[in-house]
Amino acid sequence: MTWSIYLGVVVQGVLTGLVYGLMALGLSVIFGVVRVVNFAHGEFAVVAMYAAFLLFRSLGLDPLIAFLPIAAAFFVVGFALQATLINAFVGRSEHEQFILLVGVAIVILNGLLMLFGPDAQPANLPYAFDSYAIGPLFIDKVRIYSAVAALAIAAVLFAFFRYTAIGTAIRACADNLTGAAVVGLNVKRLYAVTFGIGLACVGAAGALMVTIADAAPNLGPAYTLLAFIIVIVGGLGSMAGALVGGVLIGVSEALAGFIIQPSMKSMFSFALLIAVLVLRPQGLLGRRA
C-alpha cells in the first residue's frame, strides 16, 4: 500500500518541520521585534548542534535534555551580542546589517571548521534507529521526541509573550517602537532580551536537530535560508506562523525529495518563497504591514 509510504513521509516531514519551526521562531522573534536581518541564524543553529554533540560524546548527556542548558547559554550569548555589537546596527540600512551578520556567520562557520573539521559528525544516539509502530507507519522515536520538545518550548514562549510583563513589553516594542519608548520601556534592554530569546530558540532547535541530522559546518547557510523561508511563508510576527510554516516546508521538502529527487527538494521551497513574497507578503498567518 503505497499511501502508507507517502503518509510516513508526510509525518516525518511534519515532525522535522516542527523542529525547523522552532528555529524559525527564533528568527521571527528577532526579525519581527528587533528588525535585524540575522543572516547568521543558521550558523548559530549549527553551533548548538555541535554543543549538543559534544555534551553527548563527553558527558553522555542526551540532547533531549541538553537542549535546556544550551538554550540558557544561547540566551546569555544573544543578550550580550545584541547589547554590545548589534545594537549599533539597529535602524541602520539593510545592507549594513547584512554585512555585519555575514561577517559573524563567516567567523562562526570557519571557527567550527577549524575546531571540528568539515566532516559531518553524527551523534549516534543509542535509540536513534528505534521507532514506534503506529498503524501501518514506523515513526522514528527521535523525531517524535524532538517534535514534542519543540512544541513544548513554543508553548512556553507563547505563554511568556502573552502573560508576562516583559513579554507584553516586547510585543509593544514590535508594535509601536516610539510609543514603547515614550511610555518608558527600556527598549535597548528589551531588544537584548528578545535577541537572547531568539537565540535560545535557535540553541534549543539546534540541540534537538542533532538527533535527526549530523552536525556539519556547511549546514549553516542552508539553515539560515530555511529559517527565512519559513518565517516569510508562515508570516512575520506570528509565532504560530513560524511553526505552521516549518511544518509546511518540512512536509514539502520531504515529499519533493521523495517524489522528484532529493537534490531538488529545496526548489519547491524557493518557488514557494517567491510566490509568497510577490502575492501574499504577510505569509499565511502574519499581519498585513
Instruction: Using CB under 8 A, list all residues that contact another protein.
Output: 37, 85, 88, 92, 94-96, 98-100, 102-107, 109-114, 118, 217, 221, 225, 228-229, 232, 261, 263-264, 266-267, 270-271, 273-274, 277-279, 281
Cβ nearer to another protein, comparing 94 with 175: 94
- Nearest distance from C-beta of residue 276 to another protein, angstroms: 10
Cα–Cα distance measured from residue 133 to residue 116, given in angstroms and rounded to the nearest whole number: 36
- Nearest distance from C-beta of residue 244 to another protein, angstroms: 19
Could you please report the per-residue DSSP string of 231-259? HHHH-TT-HHHHHHHHHHHHHHHHHHHHH
Cβ nearer to another protein, comparing 99 with 134: 99
- Nearest distance from C-beta of residue 10 to another protein, angstroms: 22
Question: How many residues comprise the chain?
Answer: 289
- Inter-CA distances, 256 with 107, 139, 191, 281, Å: 33, 19, 38, 23
Cβ nearer to another protein, comparing 106 with 120: 106
Cβ nearer to another protein, comparing 39 with 79: 39
- Nearest distance from C-beta of residue 257 to another protein, angstroms: 12
* Tally of CB atoms within 10 A around 114: 9
Cβ nearer to another protein, comparing 42 with 206: 42
- Is 213:219 a contact under the CB 8 Å cutoff? yes
Cβ nearer to another protein, comparing 183 with 274: 274
133 DSSP β-pair partners: 138
Gyration radius of the chain's alpha carbons: 19
148-163: burial string, b at 16+ Cβ within 10 Å, e else: ebbeebbeebeeebee
- Is 26:205 a contact under the CB 8 Å cutoff? yes
- Nearest distance from C-beta of residue 68 to another protein, angstroms: 29
- Nearest distance from C-beta of residue 127 to another protein, angstroms: 33
